[in-house]
Structure 1
Amino acid sequence: MTSIRPDLDSLPAYVPGRAVPGAIKLASNEVPIPPPAAVLAAIAEAAAGGNRYPDLAAVALTERLATELGVGTERIAVGCGSVSLCQQLVQISCRETTDEVMFAWRSFEAYPIVTQIGNARAVTIPLDGDFRHDLDAMAAAVTPNTRLIFVCSPNNPTGTVVHRAEFERFLAAVGPDVLVALDEAYFEYVMDPEAVDGTRLLEAHPNLVVLRTFSKAYRLAGLRVGYAVTAPDVATALRKVCVPFSISSVAQAGAIAALDHASELLSACKEVVGERVRVREALVAAGYTVPATQANFVWLALGERTADFARHCGEHKVIVRPFHPDGVRVTVSSPEENDRLLEAVLAFAP
């Protein structure tokens, strides 16, 4: 009999957004257009060297990120997407089954998965009545066993942001002995001037880890590359537990090229910002509860009607992401796809 961990039977599965032929996929927060031609050319050139191992330390990408962010290379750890870095954070901070990883709920569905894989204990704190992080409740829930706290801003799946002032109060309340990971996967879509920018707080808080990704605004979801910016000792630990060669040559080249063409890529975020306002206003006018969002998606708080709503949209060839029994997350896409979404959604009584 093989010695497989029995607790893996209860491991929650990460559920990717479904793809249905002929349907619009608004379930995975993907950008509907491919990267620019110059980025695709860099990817193709790197793929031609696929017979060689990638740069283990991702030196060129690390140096480029350091320049972009104005920090030393010793502060950066590159990962196979920010999800991989989340798992690495659990690995470097948790040793015992009594060690605790805290996060809001509902938040990014990978958090409970990486926590259980790391053999740690998940501590979840409900979102407040506005679908935002209740940072006061989270700070009050810290115990001597708390090792790591995930704060997702904008929060996936509700789209709400944490403000700088409240986050600074939270960091002061938590203290310097607990790692705090600020997951900013959707940072490029944020327009709220009060929203936190984790990179501005790193000097004052050595226990802070800022996570970002090339999967969203930079349109490289299929290449799997993200990064952490943090104190040098934390970045070193993250690099130690990274799976060797997990950031492919293609991913590294694509990310560097994306940074080279950042102005073109990020200019497309403006259209998403405009569309998310239009989509949300239409949904609110129709009677749906939709919190203000700073991401490239909207959240419909549907409760027990979540599954029925997702099924209804599917029948209209629009695939959304249900989180039963809480609500549905819907990607803000092109105006044409958003029109089809609204046509389907408005046919369902809120």
Structure 2
Amino acid sequence: MPVTPRETLKTLPAYAAGKPPTPAEGLTPYKLSSNENPLGPVPAVAEAIAAVDTLHRYPNPTAESLRAAIAETYGVDAEDVVAGTGSLGALTQIINTFAGTRSDGGQDEVIYAWRSFEAYPIVVRTAGAKDIMIPVTQDGRHDLEAMLAAITENTRVILLCTPNNPTGPALTHTEVAEFLDRVPEDIVVVIDEAYHEFVRIEDPVDSLALCRSHPNVAVLRTFSKAHGLATLRVGYSIARQEITQHLRVVTVPFTVSTLGETAAVASLQHLDQVEDRVEELVEERQRVRAALLRTGWQIPEAQGNFLWLPLGEKSLDFAHEAGVQALAVRAFDGDGVRVTIGEPEANDRLIALCTTYTRAACAELTE
């Protein structure tokens, strides 16, 4: 018989990374499909990386310098921080630690909103756990009441993605605090904040305060988005030591490279410059969303570095039209299209495309 993988692999959806743009004559191509930061990292990062002369040496096994810098920046204990390969790596550590297939053959359950980050089902099912998908509301928000109602004796982890990727809305501190008060204390609640720097709402989630008041809360963050270090894969979780002591058991040594650690520390040391770049992208996000709303688009609240176009069955068609304009966007067939906020020229081209597309759709309805 041929070698065969675990049966679990048959249940895994394929992760579809954002594709690069297709060149078009006379047009500069732009990739708006991966929620990358078009402004890149702050200048100090390049300087710090250039000074690294230890590529022949293994990195620090537990990223002590990075954890110390995070602890100093955010006022937490370094022992509360566990580094990972991006926030996805940090999430994988949590799921592998707290959810899987039990010794009796039963499956632990992980609850999360859907549509949300498309890697969630891959991570959960690979661990041997059962994922419980709770549909988002019509405006792309978490249905927290439905998530609470889905809790069973088998629930081990709940994921809250805020702002939600790909739909955009962010949870408020009040609603998350009230949610946590109703979740059993033996269930780990993960607040996935890959885009938290971009949030501009009243009553934003203070996840670190929730960590201090709830021993079952873990926070995920990354240097891939606001800090512009996507290629270096640096992320981390923050939680009380009731959680982190177990995460370290499953964490693979040398998770973060020396280059990644050096770059992340340098970026934290120039956080004011990072925040300036984030503000520039937030202003672009608001400009683009306002322009689309004026042309008749129904765009959910956008609190990340992207917009969600709820196109449903027209998602692939729109992605094709964007490709003709040398814009790569991320289509979720049957649901919608996520578009990263990119360079101003790319955003202007998107606005023009959306204006034309809306008029074409209206013409179809009146024929």
Please give the range of the TM-score, normalised by the shorter of the 2 chains: over 0.9
Which residue among 76, 82, 85 is the counterpart of 1:77? 82
Structure 2 residue 60 is matched with structure 1 residue 55: yes
Aligned to 2:270: 261
Which residue among 33, 42, 59 is the counterpart of 1:36? 42
Q: Contact (CA 8 Å) 1:100, 1:147: kept in 2 or not?
A: yes
Secondary structure of the residue that 1:150 maps to in structure 2? strand
Structure 2 residue 259 is matched with structure 1 residue 250: yes
Aligned to 1:204: 213
Structure 2 residue 31 is matched with structure 1 residue 25: yes
Structure 1 residue 33 displacement after superposition: 2.3
Which residue among 305, 330, 333 is the counterpart of 1:321? 330
CA distance in structure 1 between the aligned counterparts of 2:22 and 2:248, rounded to whole angstroms: 40
Structure 2 residue 104 is matched with structure 1 residue 94: no
Structure 1 residue 236 displacement after superposition: 2.0
Name the count of aligned residue pairs: 349
Compute the RMSD of aligned alpha carbons: 1.2
Of 258-267 and 19-28, deviating more is 19-28
Which residue among 35, 43, 51 is the counterpart of 1:45? 51
Q: Contact (CA 8 Å) 2:39, 2:277: kept in 1 or not?
A: no
1:125-204 correspondence to structure 2 within 5 Å: 125-204=134-213
Structure 1 residue 197 displacement after superposition: 2.0
Which residue among 222, 226, 230 is the counterpart of 1:217? 226
Structure 2: give runs of 5+ residues left out of the alignment: 24-28, 362-367
Amino acid across the alignment from 2:20:
A
Structure 1 residue 7 displacement after superposition: 2.5
Q: Contact (CA 8 Å) 1:101, 1:122: kept in 2 or not?
A: yes
Structure 2 residue 9 is matched with structure 1 residue 8: yes
CA distance in structure 2 between the aligned counterparts of 1:143 and 1:286, rounded to whole angstroms: 45
Aligned to 2:298: 289
Structure 1 residue 21 displacement after superposition: 5.2
Deviations 1:67-102 (A, max 9, x none): 111111111111110001111111111132521011
Q: Contact (CA 8 Å) 1:85, 1:238: kept in 2 or not?
A: no
Structure 1 residue 330 displacement after superposition: 0.4
CA distance in structure 1 between the aligned counterparts of 2:262 and 2:94, rounded to whole angstroms: 25
Of 58-67 and 192-201, deviating more is 192-201
TM-score normalised by length of structure 1 = 0.97
CA distance in structure 2 between the aligned counterparts of 1:128 and 1:20, rounded to whole angstroms: 31
Deviations 1:160-200 (A, max 9, x none): 01111111111111121100000000011111121212111
Secondary structure of the residue that 1:229 maps to in structure 2? strand
Structure 1 residue 3 displacement after superposition: 4.7
CA distance in structure 2 between the aligned counterparts of 1:11 and 1:127, rounded to whole angstroms: 21
Amino acid across the alignment from 2:108:
D
CA distance in structure 1 between the aligned counterparts of 2:11 and 2:285, rounded to whole angstroms: 36
CA distance in structure 1 between the aligned counterparts of 2:57 and 2:295, rounded to whole angstroms: 55
Aligned to 1:302: 311
